[in-house]
Amino acid sequence: MAKVKSLADLRRMKEELQSKMDLREKSNDPESLVQIKVAMATCGIASGAKEVMEFLIEETAKRGIKTIVTQTGCMGYCYAEPTIEVKVPGKEPIVFGDVDIKKADQIVEKYIKNGELVDGIIPVNYKTLD
């Protein structure tokens, strides 16, 4: 455990713990938040998915969008990596392909904030069995 040597140390520790608590509280009701899954299989990581995920975490926080950004395995769209799935509350999830930082910025600004569709949507090619 880190030693507290000053008031600044104590405040920093408080901020770190507060951010961890926020993440736990968000996970209790994920359906009320924008959920972004970033495909982080080998093909995704090799194509830049890690940088896209870091950008999405930072930018949604800066823009005040209540979001859960998580990583997932291969979505089966290796030809279009990096891929992300975005689920806005009340809407069906949409998968975007060939997402770089520029496209991630468009997705946040246009789709998540304003509900406008953005180029790069991968059509659904499966159905879930009930």
pTM exceeding the 0.85 threshold for the entire prediction: no
Nearest C-alpha neighbor of 39 from the set 25, 56, 64, 23: 56
Give pLDDT tens digits for 70-129: 999 998 899 999 999 999 999 999 999 999 999 999 999 999 999 998 888 888 766 667
Provide the β-strand partners of residue 96: 84, 121
89: left (phi over 0), alpha (psi -120 to 50) or beta: beta
Q: Are residues 66 and 106 in the same domain?
A: yes
Residue 39, judged by CB atoms within 10 A of its CB (0-12, 13-18, 19+), counts as: buried
Number of domains the chain is built from: 2
Question: Do residue 19 and residue 61 come from a single domain?
Answer: no
Name the region of 110 (left: φ>0; alpha: ψ -120 to 50; beta: rest). Answer: alpha
61 shares a domain with 13: no
14 shares a domain with 77: no
C-alpha–C-alpha distance, residues 125 and 109, integer Å: 26
Range of 21's domain? Answer: 1-28
